[in-house]
Chain A
Amino acid sequence: MSAASSDGRAVSSRSAPGIAAGMSVRCDGIGFSYAEAHTPIPALRSVTFELAAGRSLALLGPSGSGKSTLLQVIKGLDTPEAGTVALDGLRPDAPGYDAARREVGLVFQTPELQLFATSAREDVAFGPRRLGRPEEEVQAAVEEAMELVGLPPEVFGGRHPYALSGGEQRRLALAGVLAMRPRLLLLDEPFVSLDPATRRELVRILVRLRSGGVTLVLATHDVDLAWALCDDLLVLDGGRVVASGPWDAGEAGRALRAAGRLREPFLVELWRRLGRDAAAAPPRTAAEAAEALR
């Protein structure tokens, strides 16, 4: 586990309640195409990157660049045609790989569309029950996950999922994945169509997960939020890796601009236009920027 992230924020190894310690992931030459009639459409072309345990990765790229496909391949819902996904240092043929894969949580785009149970509590309990955990453990995981996403079980537990607001549904769906205690959490466009308050709430949850040590992969178009949340960067364009590695210097900003249809984070651009030294890391938040400019 890395001792500190690029901007000096400590990455803690102690586990907060309901949060499991992170898992590393390493993709080696991943290739994948969608079988469409007679001509397969390539979605990923020899994608290679490495993410250390407990770090957070921003997965950026224009629509159709392969972000969602990569997440599904890491979770194992799609089998790559080429290359391997190593989890926790385990290759797919290693014993214990399946167990590691069950510790990968994937939150789909608009996950609230997948709620199905008759109560919030039951919906969150679905995942841990499928993992075959004993019932007391399931209930404990449900309580912790619901607390974590700001839906206290004593208030929301008995409510019908479809009686919740859109933002509450999104957080409930997230709780459904968190209750499985993922050590690697993959999020596909988690901020889409959220109001600012819910978005702030979700950022707060992700910050808590990260400081709890969970490894995060955040596929998003919101480059400013990604900048505030992520240590590492992986940019895809047309299924190829355009940039990857720690997200700190001006190099990453250039790669983002080069990848077409993308821009660098506002604060990075501001620092560049102000002529600040690119090697000195630009601020991650407005508060940090204000502090630096004062």
Chain B
Amino acid sequence: MKASIAQYYPGDSIVHRLDARAKFVAVATLAVALFVRDSFAGLAVFASAGVVAYGLSGVPVAWFWRAFRPLLWLIGLTFLTQLLFAPGEPFFSWWIFDFSWEGLQFAAFLSLRLLVLVLIGSVLTLTTAPLALTDGLAWLGRPLRRLRVPTDELALMVTIALRFIPTLLVELDQIMRAQRARGAEFGSGGPIRRAKALVPVLTPLFVLSFRRADELALAMEARCYQPGIVRTRLHPLRAGMPDAVLLAVTAAIVVAGLLV
């Protein structure tokens, strides 16, 4: 079984080398601007920024497509609901549905906006290792520590969760094989039968996960893990000139996108 939940594509492009924090700030700013501005012209500006960034990342289209494909459903669904339920002068009616030009336009706009958002967000997740992203988010969340939000501990939790997903997938595969060897069948029959077929899989998986969590906690304690103290990092985050340039360019794009 292939463990590919993270879309990260290892590489050494200019986009890969940018600091995770700078990339996150840039993407978040662009996302907000994207939702503030509601014209096709603004959309075009942000879309071209996304395309250029994606082009610089050197991520193969096939890889991007694999991560993107599941989202097509969501975008398609958005288009359909907006098309059917947006108010406007209908030019065509069928059963309980009215189709209007306004609805069509609105639906196209919303779907395109979603598409651009996914593109920009993907550039971040495709070029930033999950661990770097977590570290970056923890750094950005530091001010929250004044409000007693345990940001470092939260970041550690996310890191551990990410680390164990491939492990759990391997274990899941083993358990499913073992139950298949005992005659279990997955993916056949109605939804209730399918859900019932998962009990022999999920029970051992949960038991294993709890046992593993217990052992991990013990191992961390044995290695003197203490929550709430300052710790150094193996790979400290380093921001430099390219990151400053990224933020400046982002600001320029936002201004351009909002003004056109």
Binding site for B on A (CB under 8 A): 35, 72, 75, 77, 102, 105-106, 108, 111, 113-117, 126-127, 130-131, 162, 176-177, 180
Q: Mark B197-221, 1 if CB is under 8 A from A, else 0.
A: 0011101100110000000000000
B183 and A108 contacting across the interface, CB-CB below 8 Å: no
Report if B180 contacts A (CB, 8 A).
yes
In chain A, what residue has the closest Cβ to B202?
A116
Binding site for A on B (CB under 8 A): 2, 174-175, 177-185, 199-201, 203-204, 207-208
If A72-B177, A113-B204, A116-B204 touch, whether A176 touches B199 (CB-CB below 8 Å) is no
Subset of 28 A-B contacts with CB under 8 Å: A75-B181, A77-B177, A77-B180, A77-B181, A102-B183, A105-B181, A106-B178, A108-B174, A108-B177, A108-B181, A111-B178, A113-B207, A113-B208, A114-B178, A114-B200, A115-B204, A116-B200, A116-B201, A116-B204, A126-B183, A126-B184, A126-B200, A127-B182, A127-B183, A130-B183, A130-B184, A130-B185, A180-B183
Chain A binding surface, main DSSP class: helix
B207 and A177 contacting across the interface, CB-CB below 8 Å: no
Kindly state the separation between the CA atoms of A35 and B1 in the bound complex, as whole angstroms: 9
Taking a contact as CB atoms closer than 8 A, the residue among A105, A114, A126 that contacts B175 in the complex is A114
| Chain B residues, Cβ within 8 Å of A162 | 207
Kindly state the separation between the CA atoms of A211 and B223 in the bound complex, as whole angstroms: 51
| Chain A residues, Cβ within 8 Å of B208 | 113
B179 and A114 contacting across the interface, CB-CB below 8 Å: yes
In chain B, what residue has the closest Cβ to A75?
B181
Q: How far is the CB of A188 from chain B (nearest CB, A)?
A: 10
Kindly state the separation between the CA atoms of A75 and B182 in the bound complex, as whole angstroms: 11
| Chain A residues, Cβ within 8 Å of B2 | 35
Q: How far is the CB of A127 from chain B (nearest CB, A)?
A: 4
Kindly state the separation between the CA atoms of A130 and B180 in the bound complex, as whole angstroms: 10
If A72-B177, A108-B178 touch, whether A114 touches B183 (CB-CB below 8 Å) is no
B182 and A116 contacting across the interface, CB-CB below 8 Å: no
In chain A, what residue has the closest Cβ to B184?
A130
The 6 closest A-B pairs by CB, nearest first: A130-B183, A116-B203, A127-B182, A106-B181, A114-B178, A116-B200
| Chain B residues, Cβ within 8 Å of A114 | 175, 178-179, 200, 204
Taking a contact as CB atoms closer than 8 A, the residue among A35, A72, A113, A176 that contacts B182 in the complex is A176
Apart from A130-B185, A162-B207, A177-B181: 11 A-B pairs, beta carbons within 8 A: A35-B2, A75-B181, A102-B183, A105-B181, A114-B175, A116-B200, A117-B200, A126-B183, A130-B183, A131-B183, A177-B182
If A114-B175, A162-B207 touch, whether A180 touches B182 (CB-CB below 8 Å) is yes
Kindly state the separation between the CA atoms of A77 and B181 in the bound complex, as whole angstroms: 7
Kindly state the separation between the CA atoms of A102 and B200 in the bound complex, as whole angstroms: 19
Kindly state the separation between the CA atoms of A117 and B199 in the bound complex, as whole angstroms: 9
| Chain A residues, Cβ within 8 Å of B185 | 130
| Chain B residues, Cβ within 8 Å of A130 | 182-185
| Chain A residues, Cβ within 8 Å of B181 | 75, 77, 105-106, 108, 177
Q: How far is the CB of B181 from chain A (nearest CB, A)?
A: 4
Q: How far is the CB of A45 from chain B (nearest CB, A)?
A: 22
If A108-B174, A162-B207 touch, whether A116 touches B199 (CB-CB below 8 Å) is yes
Taking a contact as CB atoms closer than 8 A, the residue among B177, B182, B201, B207 that contacts A126 in the complex is B182
Kindly state the separation between the CA atoms of A276 and B182 in the bound complex, as whole angstroms: 46
| Chain A residues, Cβ within 8 Å of B184 | 126, 130
| Chain B residues, Cβ within 8 Å of A108 | 174, 177-178, 181
| Chain B residues, Cβ within 8 Å of A72 | 177
| Chain B residues, Cβ within 8 Å of A176 | 182
Kindly state the separation between the CA atoms of A131 and B185 in the bound complex, as whole angstroms: 11
In chain A, what residue has the closest Cβ to B207?
A162
Q: How far is the CB of A275 from chain B (nearest CB, A)?
A: 46
| Chain B residues, Cβ within 8 Å of A105 | 181
Q: How far is the CB of A67 from chain B (nearest CB, A)?
A: 15
| Chain B residues, Cβ within 8 Å of A177 | 181-182
In chain B, what residue has the closest Cβ to A118?
B203
**Residue of B181, B200, B207 with highest tally of chain A CB at under 10 A:** B181
In chain A, what residue has the closest Cβ to B197?
A130
Q: How far is the CB of A135 from chain B (nearest CB, A)?
A: 16
Q: How far is the CB of B186 from chain A (nearest CB, A)?
A: 12
In chain A, what residue has the closest Cβ to B175?
A114
Kindly state the separation between the CA atoms of A116 and B204 in the bound complex, as whole angstroms: 6
| Chain A residues, Cβ within 8 Å of B199 | 116
